[in-house]
Amino acid sequence: MSVRLRQILDCFEGVIPSVIATVDADGTPNVSYLSQVWFVDDEHVALSNQFFSKTAANVAATGQATVLVVDGRTGAQYMLDLAWVRSEAAGDLFDRMAAHLEAISTVHGTEQVMQLRSAEVYRVRICSPVPGNPIQLPEEQAHARGDRLPAAARLAGEIAAETDADAMIQRLLDGLGEAFGYEHAMVLVPELQADRLITLASRGYHAGGAGAETPMGRGAVGIAAKTGRAVRLCDMSRGRRLARAVESQAELDEGRTIPLPGLAEPQSQLAAPMLVQGQVSGVLFAEASERFRFGREDEQILSLLGAQLAASLRLAELEARSARAAAAAPAAPAQAQRSFQVRHYAFDDSVFIDGDYVIKGVPGRLLAHFLRQHLADGRRTFTNREIRLDASLRLPELKDNLETRLILLRRRLDERAGPVRLARPGRGVIELVLDGAPSLETVAA
């Protein structure tokens, strides 16, 4: 009896190690464990060529391999009789496998990234169940329901209908919960010059975490950003403790960082790049404490929504550039008695209010700029356009993402609930909302 590969996709998630056996020309067998077998299509699988030198030599001699794969959910075992077809050292399959391996090794804390040399593609001659498999239970997973494409299209349409950048992000996060049951999700944007990603908004965490950082190239989010490919992890029990150790030693200055929101013990993670014109403009991330929470379809859904959000944000950015300020808002009546102290460190643009860290990088520079202007001439209203043109702000990295930095700053200030907030009275307009009288001290580099 041969089983269709599509019926046993949970064998190809890399949760339970597979076994590969080959024979040499003399009939001497070789057997070793294999971290993952990749599903290619109903007739093909791919194996990663990393270190398996004896296996590779045997396959070169005989053209054959036998592989035992295990369903990570049920434990069911299947034997695959494989015939080697070709080796791919580039292309979509290779890139997908390389991104996944890199994510695995950073999440599992493996110091040495296992370099993928090639994707070895095999035709599956027979896929047979090993006797003793459990009786398959009917699919109960929410993500196996068939009504999710319409839901994804609906949510993409709702994002496309929004004109305000912050509302797009909020609609996406709400929609992920309502339509797909993603309880924990984040939107992050790259801070290219600092080689890190910053949290813009989140749902389902105790702390909102706007402004929290995570390194580029590490973990599901970092790899999705670096490679522009979705990363999905189904069972993180193996590497969780190691991952924690890696995170804790990351070179972050404790006094100048916001803790990244996240589940204490995630089992499933999914990160999809927000691609626009071939560039990664952000990452959508979801996680869960159950194993196998996200399937292939979730990966596709999140990628599709990521592309929609990226395109909509880009359009909002372009529109905000041309918007002009409405008649200057009348200066708010001075109702504030209390005063507060703001300190801006030029070397990393970090801003502290009354000694507490607020934000750094571009949003920090923007906040310092607004306050400086306000103290100089009493202004409270600014436009995207003038910010972009202001040479003193030195904002080359803002070419395409001033809006997201303003959203980040605004959300961070709201989450802090401190004496400074930002309001958006109109498209492309920012209003400084103060509860008290600020003093600003800039500490030179």
Partner 1 sequence: MAIGQAAEAKLAAFLAGPVMLVASVADPAARAATIGRVMGVRRAPPASLDLFIAGGQWTRMVESVRVGQALALTLCRPATYQTLQLKGPVTALVRADPAGAAVAHGYAEVTGAHLGALGVDASQMRPWLRTDDLVQVTFTPQEAFEQTPGPHAGSPMAFG
- Reading the block at residue 50, the tokens are 């990393």
Name which position in 64, 257, 289, 300 contacts partner 1 (CB under 8 A). Answer: 64
CA distance 183 to 129: 36
Name which position in 3, 85, 93, 114 contacts partner 1 (CB under 8 A). Answer: 114
The letter for the amino acid at 41 is D
| Residue 133 sits in the site that holds partner 1 (CB under 8 A) | yes
Q: Is 110 exposed, middle or buried (0-12, 13-18, 19+ CB in 10 A)?
A: middle
Q: In this chain, which stretch among 64-72, 197-205, 301-309, 314-322 interacts with partner 1, using CB under 8 A?
A: 64-72
| Residue 2 sits in the site that holds partner 1 (CB under 8 A) | no
Phi-psi region of 292 (alpha: psi -120 to 50; beta: other; left: phi over 0): left
Which C-beta is closer to partner 1: that of 112 or that of 392? 112
CA distance 430 to 385: 11
Which C-beta is closer to partner 1: that of 30 or that of 300? 30
Which C-beta is closer to partner 1: that of 21 or that of 375? 21
Which C-beta is closer to partner 1: that of 64 or that of 373? 64
C-alpha angle 183/176/103, rounded to 5°?
75
| Residue 117 sits in the site that holds partner 1 (CB under 8 A) | no
* Helix residue spans in 181-269 (DSSP H): 219-227, 240-249
CA distance 210 to 192: 17
Instruction: Draw the binding track, 215-244, toward partner 1 (x: CB under 8 A; -: no contact).
Output: ----------------------xx------
Q: Is 257 exposed, middle or buried (0-12, 13-18, 19+ CB in 10 A)?
A: middle
How many residues are present in the chain? 445
Residue 63 beta carbon to partner 1: minimum distance, rounded to whole angstroms: 9
Residue 141 beta carbon to partner 1: minimum distance, rounded to whole angstroms: 16
| Residue 3 sits in the site that holds partner 1 (CB under 8 A) | no
| Residue 134 sits in the site that holds partner 1 (CB under 8 A) | yes
| Residue 293 sits in the site that holds partner 1 (CB under 8 A) | no
The Cα-based distances of 27 to 11, 23, 62, 67 in angstroms read 28, 5, 10, 17
Residue 41 beta carbon to partner 1: minimum distance, rounded to whole angstroms: 22
Which C-beta is closer to partner 1: that of 57 or that of 440? 57
Contacts with partner 1: how many residues (CB under 8 A)?
A: 42
- Reading the block at residue 410, the tokens are 């605004």
| Residue 138 sits in the site that holds partner 1 (CB under 8 A) | no
CA distance 248 to 267: 19
Q: In this chain, which stretch among 36-44, 58-66, 245-253, 392-400 interacts with partner 1, using CB under 8 A?
A: 58-66
Q: In this chain, which stretch among 130-138, 248-256, 275-283, 420-428 interacts with partner 1, using CB under 8 A?
A: 130-138
| Residue 28 sits in the site that holds partner 1 (CB under 8 A) | yes
Name which position in 37, 65, 221, 243 contacts partner 1 (CB under 8 A). Answer: 65
| Residue 341 sits in the site that holds partner 1 (CB under 8 A) | no
The Cα-based distances of 57 to 60, 107, 251, 272 in angstroms read 5, 31, 42, 37
Is the CA virtual torsion 383, 384, 389, 392 positive or negative?
A: positive
Q: Which residues bind partner 1 (CB under 8 A)?
A: 17, 19, 21-23, 26-33, 35, 50-54, 62, 64-68, 70, 73-77, 79, 81, 112, 114, 130-134, 237-238
